[in-house]
């Protein structure tokens, strides 16, 4: 049996096409909209992930992304693809002093550097609260 958390609602149709007996449960919250949990009884993880890799939607599966750091699992994925995985160039994070977090929507990077209005909510944080960084 496979139980997976998927972060793209469009993938649900593809999963239903491949495995009609799959059961779905909404797992959305305030931060992650469109997230759902899928359970499929008669299938193993490797079979599910192999199909996800070949169809191109493995990157929206939380369990897959957590397991990809494991060397043995990485070799399986390379076997399914028929080629080695491409290394992604690491991006340097923004300096913490310039990265602000909105007090309302809790997202980083949406305030200007002087603690101005949130671009998403339009709110300005109270003076005593300021920006979280």
Q: List pLDDT tens digits, range 2-12.
A: 999 998 888 98
| Domain regions of the chain by residue span | 2-81, 92-124
Tell me the per-residue pLDDT of 101-127, one tens digit each, with 9 for 90 and over: 555 555 555 444 445 555 555 555 555
Q: Measuring CA to CA, which residue among 14, 8, 3, 82 is closest to residue 37?
A: 3
Q: Which residues is 23 bridged to in the sheet?
A: 39
Q: How far apart are CA 7 and CA 62, in angstroms?
A: 8
Structure confidence by residue, pLDDT tens digits, 20-52: 999 999 888 887 788 899 999 989 999 999 999
Digit-coded pLDDT (tens) for 78-88: 999 888 887 76
């Amino acid at each position: 049996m496979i139980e997976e958390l998927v972060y793209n609602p469009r993938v649900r149709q593809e999963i239903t096409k491949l495995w009609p007996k799959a059961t779905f449960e909404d797992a959305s919250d305030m931060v992650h909209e469109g997230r759902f949990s899928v359970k499929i009884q008669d299938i193993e993880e490797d079979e599910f992930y192999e199909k996800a890799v070949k169809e191109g939607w493995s990157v929206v599966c939380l369990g897959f992304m957590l397991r990809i750091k494991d060397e043995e699992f990485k070799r399986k994925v390379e076997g399914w693809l028929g080629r080695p995985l491409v290394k992604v160039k690491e991006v340097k994070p923004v300096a913490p002093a310039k990265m602000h977090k909105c007090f309302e929507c809790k997202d980083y990077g949406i305030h200007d550097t002087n603690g101005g209005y949130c671009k998403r909510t339009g709110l300005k944080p109270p003076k005593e609260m300021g920006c979280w960084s």
